[in-house]
Amino acid sequence: MNESRINDLITQVTTGLQGLATLMASPESVAFAAVHPSFEALEAAMNHKAAIDASFAWLANLHEAGRMVGSTSTTQYLREKLGLSRAEAYNRLRQGAALYDPVPEPSPEAPPATESDEQRRARESEQRRRAAEEEAAQQRARQAAAEASAEKRRVIEAELDHLSEHADPGANALRERALKQAGWRGAEDLRAWVRDRVREANARARKPDGTRDRLAAWKKRYISFGQQDADGGVRLSGYLPAAQAAALRAALSYNQSTTWSDGESDGAEERDKRSLGQRRADKLHEIVRGHSADKEPNRGGIGSVVVSVTQPELEEMGLDTRFPTNTGVYLSPLDMLVLGEASCDWMTVHDERGALLTLGRGKRTANLEQRIALLVTELTCSHPGCDRPVDECQIHHIIAWLLSGRTDIENLTLLCRMHHRDNNDKRDGSRGMGHAERDPASGRVGHRDAGSSKIRLNNSVAAGKSASARIRRRHAPPDSESEALFAV
């Protein structure tokens, strides 16, 4: 009964939005004074969409909806069937889990050896109190969630990510309070409010036995890289526990040799026009270069930056030319000069289809030459639509090694961790899972869905920037399908 009612309501909403879009295609013919109250009411009602999205994502995850698209990941279902970005799919799943997952049981901790029966009872009582409080707060948060916009919900979850495991109050209690605040605070003001509450809750954090969690900061450590911006730069963010932060700050400190012991400067710092932040960035680069230089030659290229370039591009490049790398970051000629001279160079030869000449050895693990070959031919995960760069991919045997597949370049491809996990090595379509397969017509590796006669290729913008794709474009007839698919 509920399912039928849900389907009817969605049909009504869909029909209404389509009709509204048609009427608003010519806004100059609409009287603003007559419709603005309705649009304001519509905007408020659209807040419910964010709550519905989170609950549907949770429902999809509960029923393993990824199987519908040949994946073990619900994220893949949301991306393919709903057209969401990876970030939005993760966001909806995270919000759904926060509101509808059962409140987790407290992590078991070994009681102190000297704990008395009275102390044990007090500790267990405190655990039960916190669990009951979190469960009640979760129920109230579900009600409040319907009133908060998608943007404000993202703000809340981003700040709650910084909450310690034993914070008091916990995530659900703070989420409930934040969702109520969202009703009248702007997004930036809400961010500041939640950030202050998280800081206070972390300061009160105690384990059930009443002691502080000395590893709280260590558990929260991370470093992440943002997307490359229009200027070619990449934002770096993270969180470090005190010891790592102190070590990094010391390593990135400005060269103290320019200052005399009595505090007087020799003038070098005044002549250096770099900001403190720029000095730290340069020092970090210096450390990374030293680390790479210290690598033993038999380590197989670990820590190397590999640039994919074709000969015509070298001949025609300018200062604004960007070349793809194994890290997903695109480098200009100036960037490559900053990186310095490579300890070794590798060259690859392609035919006019961009196919690479054979490279391979009878080993279980792909060697450095083969990894470079996969970089220049694929650049990204070969699964259709995926843009994960080489350094987030694993080498996959198209015919599994355990099924006598050779470690030759014709039998290797790049798959990101998720698509590698989803690949059906038996290639029998079991559990609705497809597999990677080389397309005989193009010579490229793609994905054959379970039960399908067609191999789908990765025609994403990122994949279109590989050396092989750039070569194919040069030799493709004008207005060809290849030219259209890889226009970047």
Length of the chain: 488
425, 336: one domain? yes
Q: Among 159, 184, 218, identify where a domain stops.
A: 218
212 within a domain of the structure (yes/no): yes
The answer to whether position 333 is within a domain reads yes
Residues 143 and 256 in one domain: no
Q: Is residue 57 part of a domain?
A: no
Query: Are both 334 and 391 inside the same structural domain?
Result: yes
CB-neighbour burial class of residue 54 (10 A; exposed 0-12, middle 13-18, buried 19+)? buried
355 within a domain of the structure (yes/no): yes
> How much is the pTM?
0.58
Among residues 299, 314, 336, which one ends one of the domains? 299
Same domain, 345 and 451: yes
Q: Within this chain, do residues 361 and 417 fall inside the same structural domain, yes or no?
A: yes
Distances (CA, A) of 350 to 308, 412, 468, 484: 13, 16, 7, 21
Do 410 and 316 sit in the same domain of this protein? yes
Would you state the structure tokens that stand for residue 232, as one six-digit string? Answer: 């070619």
Same structural domain for residues 380 and 427?
A: yes
Residue 190 lies in a domain: yes
Q: Say if 319 falls within a structural domain.
A: yes
Buried b / exposed e across 306-324, counting CB within 10 Å, b at 16+? bbbbbeeeeeeeeeeeebb
286 and 318 assigned to the same domain: no
pLDDT recorded at residue 125: 78
Residues 367 and 286 both lie in one domain: no
175 and 283 share a domain? Answer: no
Last residue of a domain, one of 265, 299, 333: 299
Q: According to the model, what pLDDT value does residue 366 have? A: 60
- A 10 A CB-CB count for 275 gives 9
Residues 469 and 379 in one domain: yes
Give me the number of domains the chain comprises. 3
Same domain, 398 and 321: yes
Rounded CA gap, 129 and 170, in Å? Answer: 12
Which residue segment(s) compose the domain that 271 sits in? 230-299
Query: Do the domain assignments include residue 205?
Result: yes
- Residue 56 inside a domain? The answer is no
Per-residue confidence in pLDDT tens, the chain, 488 aa: 689 999 999 999 999 999 999 999 999 999 999 999 999 999 888 878 888 998 999 999 999 999 999 898 999 999 999 999 888 898 899 888 888 888 766 555 556 667 777 777 777 777 777 777 777 777 777 766 766 777 888 888 889 888 887 888 888 888 888 888 887 888 888 888 999 899 888 888 877 666 777 677 778 888 888 888 888 888 888 888 766 776 777 777 655 443 333 444 445 555 777 887 888 888 888 888 777 665 555 445 545 667 777 767 766 767 677 778 777 777 777 666 656 545 444 555 556 666 665 444 344 456 667 777 888 888 899 999 888 888 888 889 899 877 777 878 888 999 998 899 899 988 988 888 899 999 998 889 999 999 899 999 998 888 888 888 888 888 776 555 544 444 43
Find residue 225's DSSP bridge partners.
236
